[in-house]
Amino acid sequence: MEIGFDLQKYIEEQSKYISERVNNFDKLYIEFGGKLIGDKHAKRVLPGFDENAKIKILQKLKDKMEVIICVYAEDIERNKVRGDYGITYDMEVLRLIDDLRFYELDVNSVVITRYNKQPATTVFINKLERRNIKVYKHLTIPGYPTDVETIVSEEGYGSNPYITTTKPIVVVTAPGANSGKLATCLGQLYHENKHGVIAGYSKFETFPVWNIPLKHPLNIAYEAATVDLKDSIMIDYFHFEKYNKVAASYNRDLEMFPVLKRIIEKITNKESIYYSPTDMGVNRVGFGIINDEVVSDASRQEIIRRYFSTSEDFKKGLIDEEVLNRIKMIMEESNLKPEDRKCVIPARKYACQIKGNSNENEAIAVIAFELNDGSIITGRGSETMDCCSAAILNAIKHHAGISDEIYLLSPLILNTITNLKENNLNSDNTSLNANEILIALSISAVTNPTAQLAYEKLPMLKGTQAHSTIMLNKNNEQVLRKLGIDVTCDAVYPSENLYYI
């Protein structure tokens, strides 16, 4: 893989910049947008980026930093799912706490925002408190975010409890967007001011990248990633007016800035040091780009991936047609086609070939892998195993130099598992999925040297690109992601059955 991003330069630059910003205040609240840990989007569009780079930056500051996690009550209530991990927001909060503790970062508390005694949220609060995790319940503030007089008063920010913090840097993060991070930061500024503490606010948002052109593929990839939020990249006209310099921002920040500036000035009773949304940010990711062509190519591929995932969501009824049309427009403006993803055409061609030799009416399940050496490896679904399982085995055989004719798994083992599923577990689908095949491979590797050789090649699948002619179930999607395989799917259900797992 060609590198387009200097990770160490970024970590040093970013850590230094945050430390300089905190020098202006007794305490700095930093709203962290995007993913604090496991930022796979950034890793895909910035080759060389570490998906855990942001947590490594915070590790450098850990002695003077603590973390508050916000989660919107209604997101818990409706079981909102974080797509890249396939887990609900409440579970993501628990996972995030565990990860932060692993990196020896101090978790101050969890804030439930816009709480109104929702039943599932109350159960979640009980679960946290009984594990000795501090929980604060913040109610909806009347008139938020436009009624500044009410917001900055005892009936507004003052009505929510003050979160006791002890470190000069407080990172406020969340499982996803619209979780109440900003309101929590500003509420803390209100309370800190009442306590005589000079507190400030800044925003850490990796994307859009403010110091590259608006229409750079990297920024367009951000638009594609947030197409459901209707984010659009715009010139920060506040920044241009003040400094006569072009900086990239996005519509929600620009719309909110005048109100946000007024709120901060009313809280502190003095003029804000920020003249633009760009001023508020502490993001230095643009300074880590060392090969613009590599980053641009990676970003275009991400736009195509987002097109496929949005098409899937539309097929599943998760988004409306306006969102689908928006991603189509982004594709057209970027002069991209779905087939510009190298693994798409081989998967579709193989499926057509099978279809031509078959009388089946249902969709043909084929997946194509584009390996790191440029090779294309395919797998098709069968009665024995599904397409993901077949492709994984074929790919590691390729990496190990094992002939296609050689079996890695004994038919006896496969039949035993199939019989277990059919006769003991009453499964309607006896084809082995990716997880089952990997377990079978690991067992076979103990006694079969050929299987052992192939098993050792599994790490080489990291970075593989894949495309499936059908929508995969969540189990296979997660296995592929854990192997480091970026997968897209045509928006086609595997069968006419309405019940689809």
Predicted confidence (pLDDT) per residue in 316-337, tens digit: 998 999 999 999 999 999 999 9
- Of 3.60.20.10, 3.40.50.2300, 3.40.50.1370, 3.10.630.10, the CATH number of 7-208+252-287 is 3.10.630.10
Residue 364's pLDDT is 92
Residue burial 40-78, b: 16+ Cβ < 10 Å; e: rest: ebbbbbbbbbbebbbbbbbbebbeebbbbbbbbbbbbbe
What pLDDT, in 10s, does the model give residues 280-312?
A: 999 999 999 999 999 999 999 999 999 999 999
Which candidate, 67, 66, 70, 46, places its Cα nearest to that of 121? 70
Give bridge partners of residue 266 from the DSSP assignment: none
**What percent of the chain stands above pLDDT 70?**
98
The tokens of 459 are what?
């790490």
Residue 357's pLDDT is 66
What pLDDT, in 10s, does the model give residues 54-82?
A: 999 999 899 999 999 999 999 999 998 87
Mean pLDDT of 11-18: 92
The tokens of 306 are what?
């987002």
Confidence tier at 450 by pLDDT (50, 70, 90): very high
Confidence tier at 33 by pLDDT (50, 70, 90): confident
Give bridge partners of residue 250 from the DSSP assignment: 233
The average confidence (pLDDT) of the chain is 93
Residue 156's pLDDT is 94
- Of 3.40.50.300, 3.80.10.10, 3.40.140.40, 3.30.930.10, the CATH number of 348-489 is 3.40.140.40
Give Rg (Cα) of the chain.
Answer: 25
Q: Is the pLDDT of residue 4 over 90?
A: yes
Residues with Cβ < 8 Å from 80, sequence gap 6 or more? 88, 89, 176
The tokens of 125 are what?
């609060």
Which candidate, 84, 73, 68, 72, places its Cα nearest to that of 31? 68
Task: Give domain limits for the chain.
Answer: 7-208+252-287, 348-489
Mean pLDDT of 190-209: 94
Confidence tier at 405 by pLDDT (50, 70, 90): confident
CB 326 within 8 A of CB 229: no
CB 101 within 8 A of CB 204: no
Residue 472: C-alpha distances to residues 40, 303, 339, 384, 482 (Å): 19, 20, 19, 17, 15
Note the pTM of the prediction, 2 decimals.
0.91
CB 171 within 8 A of CB 246: no
Q: What are phi and psi of 147, to 5 degrees?
A: -85, 80
Strand 81-82 and strand 65-72: pairing? unpaired
What pLDDT, in 10s, does the model give residues 40-61?
A: 999 999 999 999 999 999 998 9
Strand 106-113 and strand 465-468: pairing? unpaired
Neighbouring C-beta atoms of residue 426, cutoff 10 Å:
7
Beta strands in 241-387 (DSSP E): 248-250, 366-370, 376-380
CA–CA dist 260, 238 (Å, integer): 13
Q: Is the pLDDT of residue 184 over 90?
A: yes
